[in-house]
Structure 1
Amino acid sequence: MNKLTKLMSLGFVAFSLAMTSCGDDNDEPNPNPNPGEETGATVNPATVFTNGLPTQVGNYVITKNSNGLVTKIVDDDVVTTFDYSPAKSKSRAATRPTDYDMTMNVEWGGDKDGVDFYIQLNAQGYIEYAFEEDEDEDDGITYNEWWFKYNANGQLIEMKRTEGDNEVTTINYNADGDITSVSVKDDVDGQKMTATVGYTDASHATPILNKSGIMLYDDSFRIDMDEMATAYYAGLLGKGTKHLPLTNKEISYGETDNYTFVWVLNASDMPTSFTSSYTNQYGSYTDDPVIFKW
């Protein structure tokens, strides 16, 4: 082999290695049981679900790995997967920061729509910031951002997102660690929703202890999280209330919905079903039960 040919061959090898390295940066991250190695954060669902992680919540079928981390949640044809390795730069958004502890992906079966969340964790292992890349077959790609704050007990107290005209959800707790009220405002409508939560009713003079750690953010607290909702069951959105909610009065855009909740518990005081009923100016309604499996 002459000297020129040898140099060209070596150059080609170096180029190939460089391209392989660049290609790896755009690949899906590899699973890592220690997602916060670089930041000191560690995800641990057992700190949220101290008596065991549910295997099913309503339509959510929950899968965990040998490390106890949730890897997949299936809701009919919607599949959410969790990747616990530092995220690599594969987003097409030039404004997305580059340091991420993990990613969450939501896919709808049968179409090309999907959502990627690039997640930064706080020291407790909960989501502090998320960059959302939403790919829609009709509307193209859109981007949103999320910010979360927690109290000293690791409970969610604020959720802000750019979607919905910079919507901010504020969550208030009492000394027992129970949510007492929720308010939602945005830059266009101002205050657009308030909810007042109760933990006693005619059948329960004392509150029901929440041994399960279950938090039905939307169904019982009227906190709309869209595709982010499944993250709670991966232990990523803080801890639950001390007691199970029994009533909720929601006022939204001048209309009032009064909710009552019925929980059925097993012999271990873990919920097996949740039923929500509500009344408003149009009538009375009862939603299908949410079934829990452990």
Structure 2
Amino acid sequence: MWKKYCKISFLVLLTVLVVPCFFSCSDDSEDVVVNMNPPQYESVSGKYEITDSSSPYVSVELGASGDYIVIKRSSSNTASSLKKENLFFRKSPASRAVTYGNVVYGTYTPIDNESFNLEGFGVIQLKSDGGQGITDITIKPDSGNEMNLTVKKAETMGDDELTNALCRTWKVLKIHEKGYDSYDGEYDDTYTPNDYDGVISEVMFSKSGTFLSFYNDNEIEAHFWKWENQGEHQIRYSWDNVWNNDDEEGNFTVNFSSDNKLTIYEYYRDYETDEWYESTVELVEKNPSESNGEEGDITVPTDKTPVERVFTGKLVDEVDDHGLDKFIYENGFLTQVLSGGSDEYRITFEYNYLNPNKSASDPDVRYADGSVSYVYDVWLNELGFAERIDSKHYDDYGGFDFQSTCEYDEEGHLVYMNEGREEREYSLTWTDGDLVCVDRLNRNHTTNFTYSEMSNDNNLMFFYDIYDMDLEELKYLYWAGLLGVSPKHLVASSYIHSDGYDHPYEEYKWEADKVLSKDDGESDWTEEILFSFAE
């Protein structure tokens, strides 16, 4: 039934989805209590139907597990046409889009609260009108012109335990089918998606009533579903979303096992030919949410981008703090740094924590230079700040590795960093929102700071030339919004106590595009740091 020549019924397979023995257990069996974490993107999931008939798109749907579906308008656009044209496939853990006919399918990642990157398709932005919910969508295709369209959100199923557990994407583990047909006679076979071509490999349910089955030969069948008898776990499906109890519809049953696997069972008999089949499919959740709130779980916040959490004023364009850097921001993320201010040495950031396919062992953020002479892998804490950084440097002598660790207070101030090399271990003391002391541990080297009454409106923080912290490439984490928050005020002076000796005070003067400094007792100011802001 699930092989290519039997692709006639995927819905039957779903019947087993929630089968702790629904169809074969004795009367004393009990329904398994569903205990599953919400899918990673449950809060943003939904189907948005475009109301403008001149639009090249019919709808955009964001699934709860991080998958998206875009239906393109065609000359014969009807619900039933999806039966023939909704053919697409994604082999785990692919993240690119697959297009077949009028359907685009792939994975998406949030950019901010209302914008999403639909990989292989483009960027969408959902817009609300006061308390009216989502009313408009901006679509920026990877190829083509930006367009603004009106939408309405499709109605959703009830918010109950069984529906919540079912509505996500599932991977097929194995299939058991048996039956009789006029070509093969009786058959009884158990197999996996890796054993044959044309076998179902993934299933997606949504609360908007979408039901998709993905096959390992790059085909997909699109259906619609609703509860036929929820108390008995029975689902009714339709090819055309018209519910007339005709040949375009069918039933299956779903149940969950104690280990949260989904089983689907389907039975069909053609009384004219006496052919029949029975299919049982076992599935497991794709991209399960790893955090259930227990101790040890870390959920990186996605309500704001890192830059939005840290920077409340202007964003820097260029900074010369012991070396010139140019910063490129896109959609609330630092995406590139041009070290030296030119394209010759480009550093690129990747925000893996936004990808629902990310493995728990993979870093949340990675940044590296274009020639890959170094790579920094970053793991974030529950505040969204770097707490562990694994650094790999490559050179003609084989290179070297080191690990950095960071700690923060509850307000997001960096209070400790072990840079991981050359005794670069720092303890930072904050008072009333300002960094008043940096102690370089194991070196008997302390730098103290005083502050003016001028607010640090643009959240400037220069680690090397003011705060006496030699972080090298780790400083880029701050400008990415990943290394804590800045002092509230602008530094007025600093003084160093090192190896029992007090160094002269250093005073600072802040101007619109530079910081000037002079040692205590000197009359001339010199340029310490240059900076400019993005337009």
TM, length-normalised to structure 1: 0.70
Q: CA RMSD in A?
A: 3.2
From 79, 87, 98, the counterpart of 2:346: 79
Matching residue's letter, 1:262: K
CA change 1:160–1:263 in 2 (3 A) is same
Letter in 2 for 1:227: E
* Residues 193, 252 of structure 1: 8 Å contact kept: yes
- Distance, in Å, in 2 between the alignment partners of 1:86 and 1:234 is 14
The answer (yes or no) to whether the contact 2:350–2:366 under 8 Å persists in 1 is yes
2:415 to 157, 160, 165: 157
Residue of structure 2 in register with 1:119 after alignment? 378
SS of 2:346's partner is strand
Task: Kindly state the Cα deviation for residue 177 of structure 1 after the two structures are TM-superposed.
Answer: 0.5
Return the TM-score normalized by structure 2.
0.40
Counterpart of 2:426, as a letter, is T
**Equivalent in the alignment of 1:204:** none
Return the offset for 1:52: 3.2
Structure 1 residue corresponding to 2:387, chosen from 115, 128, 132: 128
- 1:157-178 CA-partner distances (Å, limit 9, x unpaired): 110132114x32000011x200
The amino acid that maps onto 1:233 is W
2: CA distance between counterparts of 1:99 and 1:227?
Answer: 20
Gaps of 5+ in 2: 1-90, 96-106, 113-288, 291-297
Superposed CA deviations along residues 12-53 of structure 1, whole A, max 9, x for unmatched, are xxxxxxxx999x9xxxxx995569x86531442012111232
- 2:520 and 2:374 mapped to 1: Cα distance? 34
Post-superposition offset of 1:54: 1.9
Contact 1:260-1:277 within 8 A present in 2 as well = yes
Q: Which residue of 1 aligns with 2:430?
A: 173
Question: Which has the larger share of helix?
Answer: 1
Q: Aligned partners of 2:418 and 2:392: how far apart in 1?
A: 16
Query: Which residue, 308, 323, 329 being the options, matches 1:64?
Result: 329
Which of 211, 217, 223 is residue 469 of structure 2 equivalent to? Answer: 223
Unmatched segments (≥5 aa) in structure 1: 1-19, 25-29, 89-96, 201-206, 266-271
Q: In the aligned structure 1, how far is the partner of 2:334 from the partner of 2:465? A: 22
Number of equivalent positions: 234
Question: Which position in structure 1 is the counterpart of 2:479?
Answer: 233
**Where does 1:1-294 land on structure 2 (aligned, <5 Å)?**
33=110, 39-41=298-300, 42=302, 43-58=305-320, 59-65=324-330, 67-76=331-340, 77-86=344-353, 98-107=361-370, 114-137=373-396, 139-165=397-423, 167-174=424-431, 176-185=432-441, 190-200=442-452, 207-253=453-499, 256-265=503-512, 272-278=513-519, 286-294=526-534
Which region of structure 1 is more displaced relative to structure 2, 119-128 or 245-254?
A: 245-254
Query: CA, structure 1 residues 277+136, in 2 after alignment: closer, same or farther (shift >3 Å)?
Result: farther
Q: Partners in 1 of 2:345 and 2:528 — Cα distance?
A: 19
Which letter maps to 2:443? Q
Residue identity (%): 22
Instruction: After superposition, give the CA deviation of every residue in 1:51-73 in whole Å (9 maximum; x if it has no partner).
Output: 232222232211112x2111001
Of structures 1 and 2, the larger Rg is shown by 2
